[in-house]
């Protein structure tokens, strides 16, 4: 078996910057909004993409309760043809 050759031209590894976790807070919990109405089109458009998809919790910072309300409200508004 031939001896292993070592790569003498390898670059030193770059150190990663430490990530700073910024916790997003749910805007609806801050403003004490208990329910997301499907008729509030302006609010629903803030939580959608240009193509009409629902933005994720990671992007919006919503809590799981309000994210589920947004998803169902957007689906109802789509069905009623209020949003695309």
The confidence score (pLDDT) of residue 23 equals: 78
CB 74 within 8 Å of CB 48: yes
In CATH terms, is domain 27-79 a member of 4.10.640.10?
yes
What band does 84 get if pLDDT is binned at 50, 70 and 90?
confident
Task: List the domain boundaries for the chain.
Answer: 27-79
Q: What is the pLDDT of residues 29-61, one digit of tens each?
A: 999 999 999 999 999 999 999 998 999 999 999
- Could you give the CA distance from residue 36 to residue 59 in angstroms, rounded to a whole number? 18
The answer to pTM > 0.75 is no
Residue 15 gets which letter from DSSP? P
Average model confidence (pLDDT) across the chain: 87
In this model, does residue 73 exceed pLDDT 90? Answer: yes
| Number of CB atoms found within 10 A of residue 44's CB | 21
Dihedral sign from CA coordinates of 63, 66, 67, 68 = positive
- Could you give the CA distance from residue 77 to residue 36 in angstroms, rounded to a whole number? 11
């Amino acid at each position: 078996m031939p001896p292993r050759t070592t790569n003498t031209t390898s670059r030193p590894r770059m150190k990663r910057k430490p990530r700073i976790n910024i916790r997003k807070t749910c805007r609806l919990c801050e403003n004490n909004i208990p329910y997301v109405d499907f008729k509030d089109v302006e609010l629903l458009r803030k939580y959608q993409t240009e193509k009409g998809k629902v933005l994720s919790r990671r992007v919006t910072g919503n809590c799981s309760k309000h994210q589920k309300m947004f998803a169902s409200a957007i689906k109802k508004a789509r069905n009623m043809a209020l949003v695309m």
